[in-house]
Structure 1
Amino acid sequence: MLEYVDEFLLIALAHFFAVASPGPDFAIVLKQSIQRGRANALWTSAGVALGILVHVTYCLLGVAIVLSQSPAMFNVLKYVAGAYLAYMGIQALRAKPAGDTQSVKGVEHQTSERAIQALRRGFLVNALNPKATLFFLSLFTLVISPTTPTMVQAFYGLYMALATWVWFSFLAIVLSRTQVRSFFQKAGHWFDRGIGVILIALAVRVVL
């Protein structure tokens, strides 16, 4: 296992910069943290981590090679991802002003949703993200040696999923603090609309 330490450190470093860069995953965790609270955001973060396992699985199965050789299939993925991000963006743009006396807990109660819905939301955002597809395609074809055993590659994938979950859970805890949420929710509908613009811009970027 020691012979793969250098490869693992390179992968861990590349993954850190990828997961820390602003993108659809960050936008959705930010939105859920402010709008729906800590528990919801943590479930959303878990969904994002599960999405990572989808990318790892198809890379291990060799589907990543098929995607790289099939522009049509990759374009379908791009359009589906773009449509989903645009849908969420439009929903956010339709946010209406809350009453002046509405508290953070009141907003959370009105916008509550089941854990499975939050988990699914995070999962779909990551699993359908072509940026993530390109990242894992590059990682498994250019960085990871073809001679690296499948079990070691699977360990890399599991590490990246866990690291993603820890990172976004940390963000969810910080962003869902009462003081932070209160600050954003003083003009909550404008915040939602701002996130909507960002999600639509990300949708356009994904497609183009």
Structure 2
Amino acid sequence: MIIEFLPELTTVAVIAIFMAISPGADFVMIMRNSIFYDRRTGLFSALGVSFAIWLHVAYSIAGLALIISSSVLLFSLIKYCGAAYLIYMGYKSFKANTNLDLGHSRGNISALSAFKIGFITNALNPKTTVFFLSIFTQVVEPGTPLLIQLLFGAIISLAHLLWFSGVALFLTQPRLLLAFKRSKNIIEKMVGVVLVAFGIKIAVQAN
């Protein structure tokens, strides 16, 4: 059965890779948590992003993707919630205490909190919602078995986990952290501005 759907699985895998590596709110948030907290925080945030993918898979399989795609109000609600969250996190980054070391736990974020940040960022990301609306309304057909749909979700989730875990591991190398530390005030402000900019961009974009 899997061989029969190999072209669709390959298509989803390629799209998922490009989706994961394309710059966006998820990337900025993983970068933020990795260099301003520690590697562990970045990895748990990456895990949160990959788990959030299954939320999108769940509503797509349940048929809610069609409802979301046809409801301007519902999609707008997701969009504005996501925008507000990014603006809030950006403001927190911009106003953060810059006297603390980069790459070391600030003592005020747990593994669960890091996971939640990654999860919420992806769950409320309209880009991800649009991606799943496209996949599950065009690639997935009414006769596509549930197992294949779950495989689509697993491929997308794994692509995000591997990419963002790699980002967290790369950014927390000692040499890079030392370089970041020299410009930590500027970097933290820039991250805050970028997150706020992403939030504003999402809020003003047409549905």
TM-score by length of 2: 0.94
1:187-206 aligned at under 5 Å gives the runs 187-206=183-202
- Relative to structure 1, is the Cα distance of residues 103 and 82 closer, same or farther in structure 2, using a 3 angstrom cutoff? closer
* Identity value in percent: 33
Residue deviations 1:99-124 (CA, integer Å, cap 9, x gap): xxx7556xx24355110000000000
1:54-93 aligned at under 5 Å gives the runs 54-93=55-94
Q: What is residue 140 of structure 1 aligned with on the other side?
A: 136
In structure 1, runs of 5+ residues without a counterpart are none
1:43-192 aligned at under 5 Å gives the runs 43-98=44-99, 104=102, 108-192=104-188
> Which stretch of the first structure deviates more once superposed, 18-27 or 157-166?
157-166
**What is the one-letter code of the residue matched to 2:74?**
M
> Which stretch of the first structure deviates more once superposed, 145-154 or 193-202?
145-154
2:167 and 2:87 mapped to 1: Cα distance? 23
Residue 159 of structure 1 deviates from its aligned partner by 1.9
Residue deviations 1:27-57 (CA, integer Å, cap 9, x gap): 0011111111111100000000011110011
2:134 and 2:88 mapped to 1: Cα distance? 29
**What is the one-letter code of the residue matched to 2:134?**
S
Quick check: 1:48–1:165 contact (8 Å CA) kept in 2? yes
Quick check: 2:54–2:153 contact (8 Å CA) kept in 1? yes
Q: What is residue 24 of structure 1 aligned with on the other side?
A: 25
- How many correspondences in the alignment? 203
TM-score by length of 1: 0.93
1:137 and 1:22 mapped to 2: Cα distance? 20
Q: What is residue 41 of structure 1 aligned with on the other side?
A: 42
Quick check: 1:96–1:189 contact (8 Å CA) kept in 2? no
**What is the one-letter code of the residue matched to 2:181?**
Q
Residue 146 of structure 1 deviates from its aligned partner by 2.6
1:92 and 1:111 mapped to 2: Cα distance? 16
Quick check: 2:52–2:120 contact (8 Å CA) kept in 1? yes
**What is the one-letter code of the residue matched to 1:200?**
V
- Relative to structure 1, is the Cα distance of residues 111 and 196 closer, same or farther in structure 2, using a 3 angstrom cutoff? farther
Residue deviations 1:65-104 (CA, integer Å, cap 9, x gap): 0001110111111111100000001111113442xxx755
- Relative to structure 1, is the Cα distance of residues 109 and 151 closer, same or farther in structure 2, using a 3 angstrom cutoff? closer
